[in-house]
């Protein structure tokens, strides 16, 4: 079973109506990485906001949000959570290998398991899987270049060498196949502004003509922009980031020429997962299966839906 749903709190709205009758007591634990990066910061923000919202919407529901700075700490946190009586666990694992077994232990106690973003080694553990779509993220971006640039030279910024990055970049390149858009260079810049700045400076030295930049991440896009500004080069037409950082969405909304669009990979997917999990207990239809949040192209027209001015991300 594979359902594709829109975004954010849609799942919550869908199930809120069902929250009528029976008075019961349900505890949902949420285990997520601590805010060590812009995106995970967004995850923490959305998790906390959604927890408040859900507790208000569903009488008797208790949501515990726990953040952990690394994989080992997250495994410990899971053990601690299990000493309390928990009906469901929503987990965004640090990495698949390290956390598969700890989550399996939780599952053995009969807990309902919702996995977010990074899949576990053994898909049989999870009741619900809510994921961003990394191949789609690359495809949407690639399509944007094909549609809007048509032909020209593009440089690509990669993140940290991971499966996520590999899926995004390979599908981006696949999407360009047969078009006039050519990737002339790519480098890792670790999803980091400073690294993106220095790599872009070097790209600008190396390539006399760059038509557009796929920064693949909003943090990196900011570094890229600063390097372009310093070089006073006019040839770069636009920079496409990714993830949906509020500063970038704002620029898209304001019609910034250099940032005409963005690709979503929303940290609010945690909200979706929490909503689905709560709905499992409060609606009549049991919620199971995989929910893929499609990467969406954010343009001036739909930017408003993706703008969360209070989120840190």
Binding residues for another protein (CB under 8 A): 34-38, 40-42, 44-45, 158, 161, 185-188, 190-194, 197-199, 201-203, 205-206, 219, 222-223, 226, 230, 245, 247, 311-313
Q: Which is nearer to another protein, 46 or 107 (CB)?
A: 46
Comparing CA positions, the residue from 224, 229, 169, 168 lying closest to residue 196 is 224
Interacting residues of 147 by C-beta distance below 8 A, sequence separation 6+: none
Smallest separation (angstroms) from another protein to the CB of 226: 6
- Main-chain dihedrals φ then ψ at residue 259, nearest 5 degrees: -120, 75
The least CB distance from residue 293 to another protein, in Å, is: 20
Closest CB 150 distance from another protein, rounded Å: 25
CB of 182 to another protein, least distance (A): 14
Tell me whether residue 101 or residue 307 sits nearer to another protein (CB atom): 307
Q: Which is nearer to another protein, 205 or 284 (CB)?
A: 205
Taking the complex as a whole, the smallest distance from the CB of residue 313 to another protein amounts, in Å, to: 5
Which residue's CB is nearer to another protein, number 128 or number 270?
Answer: 270
Return the number of the residue (149 or 225) whose C-beta is nearest another protein: 225
Residue 146: is it exposed, middle or buried by C-beta count within 10 angstroms (0-12/13-18/19+)?
middle
3-state secondary structure 253-286: HHCCCCCCCEEECCCCHHHHHHHHHHHHHHCCCC
Dist. CA 187–CA 201, nearest whole Å: 12
Minimum distance between the CB of residue 109 and another protein, rounded to whole angstroms?
A: 30
Cα–Cα distance, 98 to 94 (Å, whole number):
8
How far is the C-alpha of 214 from the C-alpha of 170, rounded, in Å?
13
Nearest one of 55, 57, 61, 65 to 15, comparing CA atoms: 57
User: Is 26 or 154 the residue whose CB approaches another protein more closely?
Assistant: 154
Whether 129 contacts 293, CB under 8 Å:
no
CB 184: neighbour CB atoms within 10 A?
15
């Amino acid at each position: 079973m594979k359902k594709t749903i829109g975004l954010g709190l849609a799942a919550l709205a869908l199930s809120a109506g069902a929250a009528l009758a029976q008075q019961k007591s349900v505890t949902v634990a949420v285990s997520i990485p601590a805010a060590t990066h812009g995106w995970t910061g967004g995850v923490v923000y959305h998790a906390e906001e959604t927890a408040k919202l859900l507790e208000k919407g569903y009488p008797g529901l208790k949501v515990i949000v726990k953040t952990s700075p690394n994989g080992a700490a997250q495994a410990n946190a899971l053990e601690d959570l299990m000493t309390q009586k928990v009906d469901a666990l929503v987990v965004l694992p640090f990495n698949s290998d390290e956390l598969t077994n700890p989550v399996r232990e939780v599952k053995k106690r009969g807990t309902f398991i919702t996995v977010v973003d990074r899949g576990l080694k053994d898909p049989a553990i999870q009741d619900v899987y809510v994921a961003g779509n990394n191949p789609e993220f690359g495809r949407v971006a690639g399509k944007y270049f094909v549609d809007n640039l048509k032909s020209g030279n593009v440089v690509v910024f990669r993140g940290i060498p991971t499966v996520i990055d590999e899926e995004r970049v390979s599908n981006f390149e696949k999407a360009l196949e047969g078009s006039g858009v050519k990737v002339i260079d790519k480098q890792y810049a670790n999803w980091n502004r400073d690294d993106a700045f220095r790599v872009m400076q070097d790209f600008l030295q190396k390539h006399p003509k760059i038509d557009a930049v796929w920064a693949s991440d909003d943090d990196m896009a900011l570094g890229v922009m600063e390097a372009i500004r310093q070089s006073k080069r006019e040839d770069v037409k636009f920079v496409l980031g990714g993830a949906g950082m509020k500063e970038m969405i704002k620029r898209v909304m304001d019609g910034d020429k250099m940032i005409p669009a963005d690709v979503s990979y929303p940290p609010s997917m945690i909200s979706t997962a929490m909503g689905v999990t709560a709905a499992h207990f409060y609606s009549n239809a049991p919620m199971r299966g995989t929910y893929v949040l499609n990467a969406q192209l954010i343009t001036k027209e739909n930017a408003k839906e993706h703008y969360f001015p209070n989120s840190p991300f």
